[in-house]
Amino acid sequence: MFKKWSMFAAAGALTLGLAACSSSSTDENNENVSGGSYPERAVTVVAPSGAGGGWDLTARSISKIMSDTELMEQPLTVENKPGGGGAVFMAEFATKEADNDYMLMVKSPPILINNHKAEGNSPYGYKDTKPLAQLTRDYGAIVVKADSEFDSLTSLLDAIKADPSNITLAGGSAPGSMDHLVGILPVFEYGIDPKSVKYVSYDGGGEAIASLLGGNADVIATDASTITEYVKSGDVRVLAVSSPEKLEGELSDVPTFKEAGLDTDFTIWRGIFGPKNMSDAAFEYWNTKLSEMVETEEWKAELEKNGWASEYRNADDFTTYLEEQEKVIIELLTALDMQKQ
Amino acid sequence: MSTVQFLMDGFATAFQWHNLLFAFAGVVIGTAVGVLPGIGPMSGVALLIPVTATLTSGLPAEAAAASSIILLAGVYYGAMYGGSTTSILLNTPGESSSVVTTLDGYQMAKQGRAGAALSIAAIGSFIAGIVALIGLVLLAQPLSNIALEFGPAEYFSLMLLGLAAVSGLAGNSMTKALIMTIAGLLLATIGIDAVSGIARFTYDIPVLFSGIEFLTIAVGLFALGEVFKTILEKDEEDENIAKINRIFPTKQDLKDSTPPIIRGSLLGFFIGVLPGAGATLASFFSYITEKKVSKNPEKFGKGAIEGVAAPESANNAASGGAMIPLLTLGIPGSGTTAILMGALIMYNVQPGPLLFEENPDVAWGLIASMFIGNLMLLVLNMPLVRVFAKIIQTPKKYLLPIIVAISVFGVYAVQFATFDLYLLIGCGLLGYLLSKNDYPVAPLVLALVLGPMIENNMRRALTISNGEFSIFLTSPLSLVFLIAAAAWLLVPLLLKLKGRQVIINEED
């Protein structure tokens, strides 16, 4: 009788033991951490989307650099929580996790957009979090398949103008969220009713690219940084990027919206947020650690590899920047007739 | 270089002693992860990423990437092996892909054939793993292109077929099966809608925003339902039934299982290739296929070995198939493959169209190690069957508290919310009442998993077609699925109207 039990228990103990390994091996160094004993265990950083998108890559880069440079003794693990263009996890983050010092979130303009758009409004905005830092800057890209008939942004826009029901635009997030805005911004500037554009939303940038490659979408709006791999392999062509000036690297030949004759641009900043009621110790810890992280060579190399521009703002500056950006987003949504009344 | 040459190089990588060790550690942990409900393959792999990062830190970048992905992938398919264990022994599915295994697996265990069920699950998983790998080596490129052709319309129709087929699952009444299916679909609408971001049926209660967790419902309905049944009905007779006659399957068992294993492997592999469809759909499609082709479908749900062999082969083959979109397109088809992809990215290895050119060592080393890992799993699992199978002999007064404890721990480990514990207990009572009145619970659980996918794909398809429902009929593949789905529901109905006795309505 006893023997059977011990065998069963052994299998369980094995798993538990391994789970414990991840934390116990690092416990000894804990005293060196500034600001008391935080963090006492692994911290989770959530990418509120599926794998492969911009949030996901940013979260994984932070986690990687924090462990590579040994800035953090405790592991920083990445979790994907997709849904509603980030709104699903945002609701959880602002309510259930509001006191959880061990849960961070990577986010970008949708934290403002979701809070102000009329359709699918999220009642929670950046004020329901504690902004910790802005880390990077990225831009939107309008992408077609390599063998597409459209060879310029203008030819695509002309086709949409002629018959909007012929062209399917896809993106990795919900209507009214960032991929959608990036996609319809040039459309709007070109004088086409943005509501007439057919927009199909997928769970994350990866699925959107699949739909483009499989011919289920004619054009996708996505982040300039995530598309380079597919440009290199020759599968897709980028028609335009939303940056104010030409990008460097793989996309250096691609015209900007301005060069395509549209007076607009769109910056995708990415930042990291703590829970609303984050303790002072945890807040100080992250403010310090992140400012140290962005100075490391490893972080700079990581940015370059991903095609991101570095743009660091500490917690205070980031909060001020968010206030300004909120106004910009409200203006944009108002122009598109999509703002919450 | 030819494929064979690449594969040989891959084996050279995989046979390095530290990689053998990594593969072994991966499959052992994977088996344990699969056995324990609550720690699914997803959290298991996520948990181990920092550990492997530390272990491989001394190696050069490319080699470190190969070694860690070998270990992490080992956890992934090892969990598919282990996943059947609690389904068979305790009626507790640890993940959605082993829900159907409970139907016949638990019945077999009750009849004292737990050993046979567990062995056949291991053997089936092994064969399926090898079939999927051969498919991966030979068909990766063409299949990844076909998977891309699968648009929202095709997904919708395939999943609708899945739901229609659910009606063939368990139970004597198709009406009751359909009622449960609809109930599952309704439950699936709770939460914030992933397409529009609008909250539905949440009543501003934060715990409902992310929807109802599948695991809570499944563990409640299956495992706790069984516990309540045993307690309330004072099921004493089981003490005698649970004697184990033999550990390994009989010749007849093996003969009966061979075709289901082969069919399950192939079906599982092809469904696994489709991103998003995954192991769950594969496992229950293969179960239903077996029930349809069987000469005596009435024995399904009462301990048919085919009902264990087919889905267990299918879910393992699906995990092999899911590697195709991951490695060739950089598109993860499931939560676990998404985490595997994240791990590769951590090592500067970008899965996608360039992976096989830029990092052949990683890609082929992984494939080769999966051959070795599957063999290790078979060798590892067969002796364990003897150990696990005896759990069923544990007296009820000890076994029931253990099932309750595992269920509570498992659910709480995933959700960290007391709400889910109340829901778990509620589902347990509901599960007892439902099965007492012959309402099958499997359709509800599967509808809960498929519901959001069906809905989102339908809405995408309709956007593409400008609201024309004809898009589901003009795509040939979609049309085939829809016709099959309609036939599934209508044929038995028509036969019944004609007054003929139909298998599905046969009372025993």
Q: Which tens digits make up the pLDDT trace of B321-372?
A: 888 888 887 777 677 787 788 778 777 787 877 788 788 888 888 889 889 9
Question: What predicted TM-score, i.e. pTM, was given to this entire model?
Answer: 0.77
Q: Which tens digits make up the pLDDT trace of B414-471?
A: 666 788 899 999 999 999 999 889 888 888 888 888 888 889 899 999 989 988 899 9
Nearest to B34 by CA among B111, B118, B116: B118
Chain B partners within 8 Å of A207 (Cβ): 275-276, 331
Structural domain containing residue B134: 3-159+214-417
Residue A29 has pLDDT above 70, yes or no: no
Q: Which tens digits make up the pLDDT trace of B158-213?
A: 888 888 877 666 556 778 888 998 999 999 999 877 777 677 888 877 778 778 88
Residue A152 has pLDDT above 90, yes or no: yes
Residue A14 has pLDDT above 80, yes or no: no
Pairing of the two strands A76-80 and A43-47: parallel
Query: Is there a domain that residue B373 lies in?
Result: yes
Residue A121: other Cβ atoms inside 10 A: 18
Chain A to chain B, count of Cβ pairs less than 8 Å apart?
184
What pLDDT shows up at residue B301?
A: 84
Reported confidence tier of residue B131, pLDDT bands at 50, 70, 90? very high
Q: How far is A241 from chain B (nearest CA, A)?
A: 22
Chain A partners within 8 Å of B74 (Cβ): none
Structure tokens at A138: 């990225």
In chain B, % of residues over pLDDT 70: 91
What pLDDT shows up at residue A174?
A: 73
- Comparing A235 with B297, the larger pLDDT belongs to A235
Question: In Å, how far are A1, B94, B226, B311 from B116, measured between CA atoms?
Answer: 21, 20, 22, 15
Residue A1: other Cβ atoms inside 10 A: 10
Query: Is there a domain that residue B349 lies in?
Result: yes
Report CA Rg, chain A: 22
Nearest to A155 by CA among A227, A219, A243: A219
Query: Is there a domain that residue B400 lies in?
Result: yes
- Between positions 125 and 164 of A, the ones with CB within 8 A of B are none
Q: Which of A40-54, B112-126, B291-305 has the lowest mean pLDDT?
A: A40-54
Query: Is there a domain that residue B185 lies in?
Result: no
- Between positions 39 and 68 of A, the ones with CB within 8 A of B are 42, 50-52, 56-57, 60, 63-64, 67
What pLDDT shows up at residue B168?
A: 63
Here the ipTM equals 0.74
Query: b or e along A92-106 (b: 16 or more beta carbons within 10 Å of the residue's beta carbon)?
Result: bbbbbbbebbbbbbb
Reported confidence tier of residue A114, pLDDT bands at 50, 70, 90? confident
Q: Which long-range contacts (CB under 8 A, 24 or more apart) does B414-419 make?
A: B414/B38, B414/B40, B414/B43, B414/B213, B414/B215, B414/B216, B415/B213, B415/B215, B415/B216, B417/A96, B417/B207, B419/B207
Residue A10 has pLDDT above 70, yes or no: no
Helix (H) or strand (E) holding B176: helix B174-188
Residue A205 has pLDDT above 70, yes or no: yes
What pLDDT shows up at residue B2?
A: 73
Q: Which tens digits make up the pLDDT trace of A217-230?
A: 999 999 887 788 88
Q: How far is A309 from chain B (nearest CA, A)?
A: 18
Structure tokens at A302: 């990581």
Question: In Å, how far are A273, B142, B295 from B331, measured between CA atoms?
Answer: 27, 15, 40
Question: CB distance from A304 to chain B under 8 Å?
Answer: no
Q: Where are the domains of chain A?
A: 35-137+268-335, 139-267
- A-chain residue closest to B27, CA distance: A15
Query: Is there a domain that residue B275 lies in?
Result: yes
CATH hierarchy code of domain A35-137+268-335: 3.40.190.150
The rounded mean pLDDT for chain A is 82
Query: Is there a domain that residue B452 lies in?
Result: no
Q: Which fold, A139-267?
A: D-Maltodextrin-Binding Protein; domain 2 (3.40.190)
Chain B partners within 8 Å of A305 (Cβ): 348
Query: Is there a domain that residue B308 lies in?
Result: yes
Domain count, chain B: 1
- Cβ atoms of A103 and A275 within 8 Å: the answer is yes
